[in-house]
Amino acid sequence: MPGKAAPATGSATAQKSATNGTAGGVSSAGADRTAFSERAPQGRLIAQRGLYSGPSDVVSKDLYGEVVRGVATRRRASVTLEPSARVSGNTYFGRFPASYWQRWTTVGEVTVEAVVSGSGRLSVGASDVEGDQRVVAVRSVEGAEQASVTLEAKLDKFYDGGALWLDLETEGDRLTVESVRWSVEPPEQIRPTAVTICTMNRADDCLSNLKALAGDISSLETLDAIYVADQGNDTVDSREGFAEVAAQLGGMLHYIKQPNLGGAGGFTRGLYEVAGHTETEHANVLFMDDDVLLEPDLVIRLTAFSNRAANPVIVGGQMLNLLHPNQLHVGAEYARLNTLEPGQPVEHSLTTADLLGVDEETGKPNRQERRLDAGYNGWWSCLIPYEVVKEIGYPMPFFFQWDDAEYSYRARAHGYPTVTLPGAGVWHADFHWKDWDEWHRYFNLRNSIITAALHSPFDLNLLSRVLFAQIVRYLLGMQYGLTATLIKSVEDFLEGPEILRDGGVAAMKEIREIRARYPETKRYPATDVPGIASNDIGIINTAPRPSLQRAVLVKRILDRVLGKHRHSLGAIPSDEAHWWHVSLFETAVVTDASQEGVRVRKYDRQRMFELAKHGVRTLQRLRKEGRAVQEQYRRATPELTSRENWTRLYEL
């Protein structure tokens, strides 16, 4: 585990930051500090750039500019149309989210500027809540040579939905368009912004994102500092190339090594450092995961939106699926707190949508036309204004899982909503390729119960039924380790706020030790399953979902109690591992959701009964003690989320 870090320094104009002696332009402890402060704008505020290809070749250029007709050459910052061609910016990254700007900011008009060579037509297209299109501004050019072209569009008919974009068209000549900028009137003062990247043994991924930021740093005018909270033992500064990127970023980079306090501890470090070195409460901290494929324009889009917001709001970026780069994870999401269900799509939200495809029902392109109100935003990319921190405190020391949801719901209770901004996206590993039966499920369950206790009616009868149903499903599916994980999470919740005292370090170690006692939590290659010959494992597919689920549930429970099995051995694909199917087996070899191996689930009658009894006792405790424990968490929240508590956790 990394040792204690020296505190980091202030803004982009600061001297180089304090670290544990890393090289590459990032200096040792004791450097001079310069506090974050607002500054006067230098011209118009860039709200987003018009780009025509992505940060990686795995990303389709059609997400930026679609060649509707003819031939066009698309580069990162420019596009060249051959004669009789048309390129549309009505794409995920090409659209300007007009509805969100009209609703949440004080901006009344946006300007599109471009440098143009050749002949052709530039037009600003617009849509409404139903996706119906119209043209709001047009400019034609003839024989231009690096000419500046400006178009303007009012933000006045987009309240419920709709966007703006730039379309390009040629007839008999070639047209090159470059340096496209969407800009708005600047605020009186620009808010300083710091990016915070939390990393843990993903050194290569983190370094890639630092390189992406360094490569675009001249365009990121609103960015003042980059904090890297490195909590691993395979550290970013050990990589060849770190010294070079550190030199490129200069005083902007603040590289901090600290003990592993999970995502909550890593992200909070950025808030902690900015709050400690700011001369103004009008500052921003932008959280960013270490393992995302970054679109650097995200920084421009989120910071510009925050700079012109009518009131401070949490502004989140959207997540696109890294393994399927054309897919949007969700347009906006919320959590059903009392039933412990995060990641619920807001009504009318696109969900796992192919951004290059069409809606099967309407035949229209998959575009998020309707404006959505989010409940919270994941911390793969999420900007938090310092005003929020000053009023509601820091994140809960949850280690990880639900820290983002809890913080947004706490902020909303104080009048600070969360806005998920379309077109501000990063690519993150697809969630459905992560197996649910892992040690982190403990934190997901425990922290979800704490969040429900703090921000929901906390109906203990409903909550107990939800948890009991999960226990039954896990036991029928021979997931004994997952059952033990659930029980432990409830027991630790009932221990009260003291369980958060160390930020989750002890809990992480303990839950891993508990799960190691259960063989089905281990993953194996399908060709090397202990005690089972590879050729003996054949796939047995599931029947359709039962129409009379309660009747089937009762029958499966009776069969399990009596030790009856329809199949002695079989393989089950990951997407077919439903309780009603797995419960037919004595031994089931189930594909892991990661598609990198299999888990072997074996029927164990004694263990099933022990866990069932333990689970029932624990849920009885929850119903009896839950209300009193809820009050303990509510009373403890100010102390848990205080700067003093995080100072202690960081051992500063």
b/e 511-533 (16+ beta carbons within 10 angstroms → b): beebbeebebbebeeeeebeebe
How far apart (Å, rounded) are the C-alpha atoms in residues 119 and 175? 5
Q: Active-site residue 459, yes or no?
A: no
Contact 524, 591 (CB under 8 A): no
**Strand 193-199 with 284-289, pairing:** parallel
Contact 424, 301 (CB under 8 A): yes
φ/ψ (deg, to 5) at 433? -95, 10
Name 533's Cβ contacts closer than 8 Å, sequence gap at least 6: none
* DSSP code for 37: -
Q: Tokens 């990880």 map to which residue?
A: 400
- In the chain, the amino acid numbered 632 is Q
Give the 3-state DSSP-derived string for 240-266, with helices as H, strands as E and coil as C: CCHHHHHHHHHHHEEEEECCCCHHHHH
Could you give the count of Cα atoms lying within 13 Å of 526 in the half-sphere of its Cβ?
Answer: 18
Name 311's Cβ contacts closer than 8 Å, sequence gap at least 6: 416
Closest among 275, 252, 262, 192 to 229, alpha carbons compared: 262
Choosing from 404, 435, 437, 592, the catalytic residue is 404
How far apart (Å, rounded) are the C-alpha atoms in residues 352 and 366? 11
Contact 137, 123 (CB under 8 A): yes
Catalytic residue numbers? 404
